[in-house]
Structure 1
Amino acid sequence: MRNLDPVHYTSPDIHRADIDSIFARSWQLIGPASRLRQRGDYIATEIAGQKVFVRQTRDGIRAFRNVCRHRGARLLPEGTGRCNTIRCPYHQWVWGEDGSLLNVPWWGDDPDFEMSDWALDTVEWDIWRGLLFVAIDPAQSLEAQLGDTIPELADEPLETFQWTCEEVLTFDANWKIYTDNFVEGYHIPGIHPEFHAAIDFDAFSTTAHDGLVRMTAPPKQGLFYRGKWLWMWPNWTLSLFEGGMNTSRINPIDHRRTELIYNFYFADTSPETSEARAKTIADNLQVVREDFEVCLETQKNYESGGYRPGPLSPRHEQGVKYFQDRLRAVSD
């Protein structure tokens, strides 16, 4: 087993192909469906540069490309909010909550113009166990993509966890470099010494399944993690800790920059536990940030031409092999 050639992490052309063959064709975790509580609530985000938004309407959830049909402006700013109508800030075109064009001010006399021709472009959406996903042009159903994730988490009380906050972290490396790093525990002794001291590393196990890489290790006393970390194809994660979980989406900004969109969920969101929750969030994010430097320096070495693909550990890098095999299958 050998690592992918560096060109897969440094080429703008390969990154463009990734957007078309992976990110546009797969289900992408947007966050908790509970953030769309009332009519008009929306979540606007990017999927590898593709702008989309999901909105609660009178008739339920609808999802669209966040792109004006007139001149391509962004309709809603990234983040969450509430709006009664969808009004383009550029030229004030207005769409209804079903995506139909309602008003085109100051247009002039144009007998060939039909309002019905310019509805917003839709995207697919689905909810699994309270988590909201969208897909621009899905190659398969959400359930099929989740694969072994469904039985893996069947006994976990995900629906009892309440969303508390979202945190976004950015760093200068390709999304695949970070994913290679996430799906193996081989780096833990060198990059995460405190984390290493808090687990039985000799018993660390990584196994690959349908749509899923599972990493487990017996935790020692005092570790906030429960000892199970999951990565799901193509780019989201779920980690369990006592009384809750976090999820993340590994989202490319471009071929050498990535953002991690983390969401945190807890069973107990009472004021009495606010300090403990804040510490759990901070401890989680500290472990994540510890990976950034090694990813950044790896990116530099890949770009320099000084690296040739090395071997993968049969014990610790089964997750890397699985991820890279999936990449190869998509590109073939």
Structure 2
Amino acid sequence: MKYTLNQLHIFLKIVQTQSVTRASEELHLTQPAVSIQLKNFQEQFEIPLTEVIGRRIYITDFGKEIAEAAEKIINQVYALNYKTLAFKGKLTGRLKISVVSTGKYILPYFLADFMKQHSGVDLFMDVTNKEKVVDSLVHNEVDFALVSILPTSLNIEQIDLLHNKLFLVNDKKTKFKKDVTITEIFESLPLIFRERGSGTRQIMEQFMERNNISALKKMELTSNEAVKQALLAGLGCSIMPLIGIKNELHNNELQIIPIKGLPITSTWSLIWLKGKKHSHVSTSFLDYLRKEKNQIIQDKFNWYNRY
């Protein structure tokens, strides 16, 4: 057999995502390139690794066993690399963080200099909704999770990073009278929600319940970026995190509608299970954050205070 580490990595990603398309996206490769590598890898085995039914790919039992072996091989390669770097006195290892979707706008700034200082550290950052983020923490699949709503069912520790401000947002073309109420707005415009399981959705629903507000027309979209594009297209309004619309506000494409009771404020916090035994890498990252977070906020999020 002449399979390569690259083929093992690609096949493992296909198994993990259950999709050639999603695997190609996560690997930053074209779909044809991933398909060719899967074909070349499959040709080295007499037993099928996958089967396609309709337009969906399924992993065979044999394929699952090969994926397990591939993961072990890849981990051993990582271990060899880490040992080499560690022997040179460098910080080495993997840092695994699960991030709520709006957190992708802030966490990279808290990671950038740390990653530059430690070239022997590999980063795994999974961006998903709050429900899946908490689940990855519960199953100890990650070192940390970044959330804007603290899970009440877990015994956790935390370091607070940045306030999360949510405003009522609409496209710039729509005009409102000066004293418009949120009830009047929701009577004429659809309210765009995130999907269930999203922290932003939870904050929106709690705000509407507290203020006895209902929306006559509703839309549901599965990502913050999709909501933003719907706003830009004029499909409705939404309560959105300020952090995700910086460029659109600057370019005069979206507007914040001043409404009593808004913004809603929560806090993005990096959390971990209480009592977790941190690796040297994750301990070093926590030390870095405690020392540098205020300077990072001042340097990277100074614009935030204007709203």
TM-score (norm 1): 0.22
Larger Cα-atom Rg: 2
Which one has the bigger strand percentage?
1
Which one has the bigger helix percentage?
2
